[in-house]
Structures are given as structure tokens and as C-alpha cells.
Amino acid sequence: QKEVEQDPGPLSVPEGAIVSLNCTYSNSAFQYFMWYRQYSRKGPELLMYTYSSGNKEDGRFTAQVDKSSKYISLFIRDSQPSDSATYLCAMKLPNTGNQFYFGTGTSLTVIP
Amino acid sequence: SAVISQKPSRDICQRGTSLTIQCQVDSQVTMMFWYRQQPGQSLTLIATANQGSEATYESGFVIDKFPISRPNLTFSTLTVSNMSPEDSSIYLCSVARGGGAETQYFGPGTRLLVL
């Protein structure tokens, strides 16, 4: 079983829709949760960072962590064509300098 | 955050040759990482480059194939040696931020095609 599972999509939605992206994980010790956005031919860009459980909101983006279910989500409200990208989730254990675990990424297209 | 640049942005190389990728950061960082990203796969950590010491390689990656230099706190290089078509991939450098290196920031990547 992979440490982090992410549906690769592709996901296609109309402009203005609410998008839900999800990852599940197997290691209950993960404490740090991140979402990266990667545009075509670019490196991943840190979008959201959450420590432990709960929600975090930043503009149109909301990150949720449900540690009891080992499930994290990224919601995008009022999606825009500029949100079209691949979204990668990532997780990290505490006190481990370089052990990040990435999902395979979900490809999202927002249709005008 | 961090501003990271990589050179070259892309290259097409012949089998058996070597390519050195440069990574420059706009501020001093302790840890720099090199990743490989292949289509449909998650990011795979190749090695951690620490200034003043040997790089730490992950399982499946060896120094002879992927030698790394880290001459100072803002710069690192990754060499892909004796290349084969299987080395065709995107190579990314990243740096860690936060007291416990909780988050990473990535460079734009180097797209390598080996013929």
C-alpha cells in the first residue's frame, strides 16, 4: 500500500464550480499536510500548508485535514480557468528533515 | 518562501553522455533536495544535499550515477551520468523551510530527454 493515495483524474469542471480534491494516507503519524499546484512545464508551487487537524482557508482555497479518517481535502470555490493545473498533496512526519511523501497529483481543467 | 532557479530548463542528450543541472536559491538554506518527476508518478527524492558534507542518497540512487555538489548555502548541482533513455524525466531541486523543515519550495525543473 502506498503511503499517500491520490486520484490522478483528470478532473474537468465548468468555470465557477466548486472543486474537491482529495488524498488518503496510511500513516497516522503524519503531522504536516501540504497542497502544491503545478502548472504545465513549471515546478510545484506551495499552495496550502496545514499542521495537524482542522481547516485552513486562503481566499478561494480551503484545506481540510481529517486525521481520524486519514483523509485530506482541498476545496476550490468559484473555480477559474487559471486554476487549471495538477494538484499534488504532500505529507510529512514530525522531526524528519527530508521525508516528504507526495501523491501522484490530480489533473484539473476548468472550462470557461 | 524562496526563489529558486535551475539551469538548463530543458535539454536533449545522447545516450552515454552526462548532464549537470544547476540550482540557485535566493537565500541561504541548510537543506536542498533533488527530485525526479516522471509522468504519472509522484515526486521521487533522489538525494539530500547538505553544505559541507556528502549528499545523502535514497534507496535506488547512487553517487556514481547522480553525483551532487553543494559548495555553499545557496547553490547545488546534480549530474546525471552515463545517461540512458530511462533517465528521461523532470529533475527538480527544492529547499526546506520552517523550524523543522515542514514545507518545501521547488525550482522550475529541468526537462531532460535522452535519446
pLDDT digits (tens, 9 = 90+) for B26-38: 999 888 999 999 8
Query: Residue B30's pLDDT is what?
Result: 84
Cell of A101: 511523501
Indicate which of B59, B103, B110, B112 best probes the interface with A, i.e. most A CBs within 10 Å of its own CB.
Answer: B103
Which residues of B, range 61-80, sit inside 8 Å of A by Cβ? none
pLDDT at res. B39? 80
Q: Is B96 within 8 Å of B104 (Cβ atoms)?
A: yes
A98–B96 C-beta distance less than 8 A:
yes
The pLDDT score that the predictor gives to residue A70 is 94
Query: Residue B102: pLDDT band by 50, 70, 90 thresholds?
Result: confident
pLDDT value of position A1:
66
CB-nearest to B33 from A4, A41, A98 is A98
- Using a CB-CB distance cutoff of 8 angstroms, which residues of chain B are in contact with residue A95? 100
Band of pLDDT at residue B16, cut at 50, 70 and 90: very high
pLDDT in tens, A52-77: 888 999 999 999 999 999 999 999 99
Identify the residue with better confidence: B24 or A3: B24
Is the distance from CB of A68 to CB of A7 less than 8 angstroms?
no
pLDDT confidence of residue B83: 97
If chain A, 112 residues long, is cut into consecutive pieces of 10 residues, what is the mean pLDDT of each piece? 85 97 94 93 90 91 94 96 96 80 94 96
- pLDDT of A110 reads 97
Q: Which residues of B touch A41 (CB under 8 A)?
A: 109, 111
Q: Is B3 exposed, middle or buried, given 0-12, 13-18 or 19+ CB atoms closer than 10 A? A: exposed
Would you state the pLDDT for residue B90?
Answer: 95
Q: Where are any strands of DSSP class E within A11-102?
A: 11-14, 19-25, 32-38, 45-51, 54-58, 61-66, 71-76, 85-92, 100-102
Residue B47 has pLDDT above 90, yes or no: yes
The distance of B109 to chain A (nearest Cα, Å) reads 5
**Smallest CA–CA separation between A86 and chain B, in Å?**
11
Whether B44 contacts B86, CB under 8 Å: no
Whether the bond into A10 is cis, omega within 30 of 0: yes
pLDDT digits (tens, 9 = 90+) for B86-98: 999 999 999 987 6
What pLDDT shows up at residue A52?
A: 85
pLDDT score at B74: 94
Contact status of A92 with chain B (Cβ, < 8 Å): yes
